[in-house]
Amino acid sequence: MASGRPVASRRAALLPGLQSPRKGVWPPASVGQPHLFVPSQNRILTDPMQDTFMEDSKRHLIVTQGDITLISMPEGALVNPSNTGLILNSGGNSDNTVSNAIARRGGPFMQQTLHMARSGLRNNRLEPGRAVDTEAGQLPVKRLIHVSIVGAKKINARLVSNAILNAYDLADELELKELAFPAIGLQMGGITLEEFMDIFWRITAEELPRLKNVKQVYLCLFSGEEYELGSAYAEKNVDELPESIDLEISESGFARGLFG
Report the distance separating Cα 179 and Cα 62, nearest Å. 10
Three-state SS for 105? helix
Task: Check if the beta carbon of residue 167 is closer than 8 Å to that of residue 204.
Answer: no
> Among residues 160, 236, 223, which one has the least CA distance to residue 191?
160
Domains detected in the chain: 38-249 (3.40.220.10)
Rounded to whole angstroms, the Cα distance separating 89 from 166 reads 23
Cβ contacts of 104 within 8 Å, gap of 6 or more? none
Give burial (CB, 10 Å; 0-12/13-18/19+) of 104. Answer: middle
Could you tell me if 209 and 244 are in contact, meaning their C-beta atoms sit under 8 angstroms apart?
Answer: yes
Q: CA 207, 128, 170, 26: dihedral to nearest 10 degrees?
A: 10
H or E stretch covering 232: helix 224-236
- The confidence score (pLDDT) of residue 181 equals 97
Q: What is the pLDDT of residue 43?
A: 38
Contacts of residue 61, defined as CB under 8 A and 6 or more positions apart, other chains included, come to: 204, 208, 216, 217, 219, 241, 245, 246, 247, 248
* Residue whose C-alpha is closest to residue 126's, from 110, 111, 95, 148: 148
CA distances from 121 to 1, 100, 135, 166 (A): 10, 23, 16, 16
Question: For residue 31, how many other CB atoms are within 10 A of its CB?
Answer: 17
Whats the size of the chain, residue-wise? 260
For residue range 2-16, list pLDDT tens digits in order.
Answer: 655 443 333 433 443
* pLDDT tens over the chain, length 260 residues: 665 544 333 343 344 333 333 222 222 333 333 222 223 234 344 433 334 434 467 999 999 999 999 999 999 999 999 999 999 976 543 434 899 999 999 998 999 999 999 999 999 999 999 999 999 999 999 999 999 998 777 889 999 999 999 999 999 999 999 999 999 998 766 799 999 999 999 999 999 999 999 999 999 998 899 999 999 999 999 999 999 999 999 866 555 555 54
Residue 90: the pLDDT is 61
